[in-house]
Amino acid sequence: MNRPVQRLIIAVLALVLVVSVGAVGISSLTGNTPDDEKQGEQPSAANPDDRPTADPADQPPKPELPRPEEPAGLTEQTSEGAQSTLTYLLESYTYMMTTGDTSVWEDSVDPNCQVCTTFLGNAQILHEQGGYLVDGEFDVRSTGFSGTGEPPATGQVVADFTQEASIIVDDPNLQASPVDEVSGQLIAQVAWDGSRWRVTDMSIAPGPGGGASDGGGASDAGGTGVADGAGDAG
């Protein structure tokens, strides 16, 4: 996968999960492809998406963020523990994408979770390229859990969230990419591994139009809300 596609994929957790992670970038979600926009132009290999150059000194400064503290619930085999795990992943996402420290996710995702490992890899690549995320904090408004067993060994966590607008600096020498605020409902499959909860898969609940809401901004993920009946987040 080339770096421009990697840059697009890490843009917003919510937007990426609307479609198959690793398959397309944000341009595909908006209905525009590079070929449509360039009308046959051939951008250089050093700048395949043909963005304007920028002076690194003019880029938004990289935030200094503390490592989020893990809640005690991550190691409790309860409904509350499962919900705390997904909440922690979302609330630590900006820290991971800003610092490149993937340890905040590694202990709470299953190694076989393709969506999860894609984000881990993207965070590492962004860091290696000297890039980072500015803002983009998640506000988890509510969560719900439905599980199997007593105590539960597997289950599903649903989280209603809003991610604030953000800026991605993926290459200090190229213009940064703004990303609109987005709201939606995230569905995560979770499993107890004997000592803690791990996320085994994640997806976005389709809204009436098929995707998460962008809060009315320019970025269009194909929908304007979240679905009813995908889970009880109350």
Instruction: Give the pLDDT score at 198.
Output: 96
Rounded distance between C-alpha atoms, residue 131 and residue 8, angstroms:
13
Instruction: Give the pLDDT score at 170.
Output: 83
Instruction: Give the pLDDT score at 137.
Output: 92
Residue 145 is which amino acid? F
Instruction: Give the pLDDT score at 78.
Output: 96
- Which residues touch 113 (CB under 8 Å, ≥6 apart)? 198, 199, 200, 201, 202
Per-residue pLDDT of the chain (234 residues; tens, 9 = 90+): 334 333 334 444 434 443 322 222 222 222 333 344 434 344 444 555 677 898 999 999 999 999 999 998 899 999 999 999 999 999 999 999 999 999 999 999 999 998 888 888 888 888 888 889 999 899 999 999 999 899 999 999 999 999 899 888 888 888 888 888 888 889 999 999 999 999 999 988 875 544 454 433 222 332 222 223 333 433
Domains of the chain: 3-34+71-204 (3.10.450.100)
Instruction: Give the pLDDT score at 193.
Output: 96
Instruction: Give the pLDDT score at 200.
Output: 96
Instruction: Give the pLDDT score at 210.
Output: 41
Residue 117 CA, chain-centre distance (Å), reads 12
Instruction: Give the pLDDT score at 227.
Output: 29
Distances (CA, A) of 90 to 35, 55, 128: 34, 32, 22
Nearest alpha carbon to residue 86 among 167, 9, 10, 17: 17
Instruction: Give the pLDDT score at 16.
Output: 43
